[in-house]
Amino acid sequence: MNKEVQTLKISVVMCTYNGARFLEEQLQSILKQTYPVQEIIVQDDGSTDDTMTLLEDYASRYPQIKVYANDSGCHGINGNFFSAMRRATGDYIAISDQDDIWEYDKLRKQVEAIGDHLLCSGFSVPFSEGGFPVQTDMRPPCLHLLRNTYLSEMPGHTMLLRRDLLDALKGGGPTMPLYYDWQLACAAAAAESVAFVSEVLVHFRRHADAATATVPVGSSMLSRGAWDYIRTSLLHHRFLQREVRHRFAIVRPFLEHLPFRTDSINDALRMSELHLQRGPIAFIKRMAFFVKHSRHIFHTEERRPVVRVLRAMFFVYSCGYYYRSHLKH
């Protein structure tokens, strides 16, 4: 690692809420990082367990740990993380969940990889102490903006980002009804400025009721239940497409306010416009768009050309499958 890289100052930002049970294990994995951490900012959002007691004990023993209560007036995941990140003084911010476990060289590998990019992500793998099965997908994810407008391929708990990336979110922030890590991922992807470490950096604890738990839909259709995928996409097409339109009615102004003008953001704005249009002509235009950009809309690249085109054509239906959880409501 060269001297210039070694001088980069990193602020770790963690938000907590009733996390006392697993918090200490994660704090230890951060404190043992092989790359020095300038500060660890921990902001609590009104815990009623022993979280604050544990944090205050750690802060008394480790001066780099700074503990805050969320007094921003904006609570929840977005409110807590955005106000906590604004407290960071380092050149870069590493985001941490309260119950993960980091590989000890996570930050070193990301600092070496990020270069001039705005954001660096990497692989994270789930584990469960509750006995229910968890799945791991180690295929290289698509980091293109088109893919990430549907759902983020870069979980917040893997992110190392330049602090000034926060200033790009002029159309987002804590009150936007899409999660903070989606906003950061899309802003960096819009700037075409994302690095990725193809190694496991984080072990994240999978809770059945996790607030941000999302099961990605990969290109291996059989492994994800091809029949359910096709049946749900077709049977509930009208409802799911309403959900897609609702999402892109939020996504489009967010993209318009980003201070970047790249091919990626121009394509994403065009796709947003097509999603908001109705009727058979718009349907055909969407299908043509998906075929043209078929390398950039799936979780991982489909290398079989014929299959890729067929999947892209069906994507006019299946893009709504990502929001199938809304069917329960």
Per-residue pLDDT reduced to its tens digit, 2-48 = 555 567 899 999 999 999 999 999 999 999 999 999 999 999 999 99
Grouping H, G, I as helix, E, B as strand and the rest as coil, residue 93 is strand
pLDDT on residue 214: 44
At residue 71, the pLDDT reads 83
For the stretch 98-128, pLDDT in tens is 999 999 999 999 999 999 999 999 999 998 7
Contact 320, 244 (CB under 8 A): yes
Using one digit for the tens of pLDDT, what is the confidence trace for 237-296?
A: 999 999 999 999 999 999 999 999 999 999 999 999 999 999 999 999 999 999 999 999
How many angstroms separate the CA atoms of 206 and 120, rounded? 22
- C-alpha dihedral sign at 194, 199, 205, 209: positive
d(CA 11, CA 317): 42
Asked whether the predicted pLDDT for residue 226 surpasses 90, the reply is: no
The size of the chain, in residues, is 329
Is 95 within 8 Å of 181 (Cβ atoms)?
Answer: yes
CA angle 81, 83, 89 (to 5 degrees): 100
241: its two tokens: 């497409």
pLDDT at 217: 42
Domains recognised in the chain with CATH numbers: 3-205 (3.90.550.10), 221-328 (no CATH)
Predicted pLDDT of residue 2: 58
Instruction: Report pLDDT digits (tens) over 132-190.
Output: 657 788 899 999 999 999 999 999 999 999 999 999 998 888 889 999 999 999 999 99
Non-local CB neighbours of 304 within 8 Å, separated by 6+ positions: none
Distance between CA atoms of residues 150 and 318, nearest Å: 11
Give the residue from 93, 43, 39, 78 showing the smallest Cα distance to 62: 39
Task: Report the 10 Å Cβ neighbour count for 218.
Answer: 15
Is the backbone of residue 73 left (phi > 0), alpha (psi -120 to 50) or beta?
Answer: left
Between CA 76 and CA 85 the distance in angstroms is 14
Residues 158, 121 contacting (CB under 8 angstroms):
yes
Residue 216 DSSP SS3 = coil
Greatest distance between any 2 Cα atoms in the chain: 65
Structure tokens at 253: 């102004």
